[in-house]
Amino acid sequence: MANKTFTLMHQHLLESASEALTKIPFSKLSVKHICEQAEVNRNTFYRHFDDKYQLLEMMIRLTMEKATEEIDMEAFRDAPFTIIHNLSFKDALNVLDFQLQDKVFEEQFYNGVFKELTRLANSSEILWLLGSVQVVHIWNQNLKKPYSIHKDYELFDEIIRTQKFPGID
CATH code, domain with 26: 1.10.357.10
Answer whether residue 18 is part of any domain.
Answer: yes
Answer whether residue 134 is part of any domain.
Answer: yes
Which of 14-23, 24-33, 72-81, 84-93 has the weakest average pLDDT?
Answer: 84-93
- Indicate yes or no: pTM above 0.85: no
| Mean per-residue pLDDT, 12-34 | 94
Which tens digit of pLDDT belongs to each residue from 130-168? 899 989 989 998 999 999 877 899 999 999 999 999 988
Count Cβ atoms below 10 Å from residue 82 Cβ, excluding itself.
14
At 31 the pLDDT is 97
At 91 the pLDDT is 55
Answer whether residue 167 is part of any domain.
Answer: no
Which residues span the domain enclosing 54?
A: 2-162
Instruction: With CA atoms as reference, report the closest residue to 106 among 75, 77, 137.
Output: 137
Q: For the chain, what is the mean pLDDT? A: 87
The alpha carbons of the chain give a radius of gyration, in whole angstroms, of 18
| Mean per-residue pLDDT, 56-82 | 82
Count Cβ atoms below 10 Å from residue 10 Cβ, excluding itself.
15
Answer whether residue 169 is part of any domain.
Answer: no
Q: For Cα atoms 72, 69, 111, give the angle at the middle one, nearest 5 degrees.
A: 85
Which tens digit of pLDDT belongs to each residue from 75-109? 888 898 888 877 756 556 567 778 878 889 988 88
Q: How far is CA 102 from CA 4, 9, 30, 97, 146, in A?
A: 35, 28, 15, 10, 13
| Number of structural domains found in the chain | 1
3-class DSSP state for residue 29? coil
| Mean per-residue pLDDT, 7-21 | 93
pLDDT band at 41 (very low <50, low <70, confident <90, very high): very high
Please give the Cα distance from 53 to 156 (Å, whole number): 26
Answer whether residue 103 is part of any domain.
Answer: yes
Answer whether residue 89 is part of any domain.
Answer: yes
Answer whether residue 168 is part of any domain.
Answer: no
At 116, the amino acid letter reads: E
Answer whether residue 41 is part of any domain.
Answer: yes
At 149, the amino acid letter reads: I
Q: How far is CA 8 from CA 13, 14, 33, 162, in A?
A: 9, 10, 19, 48
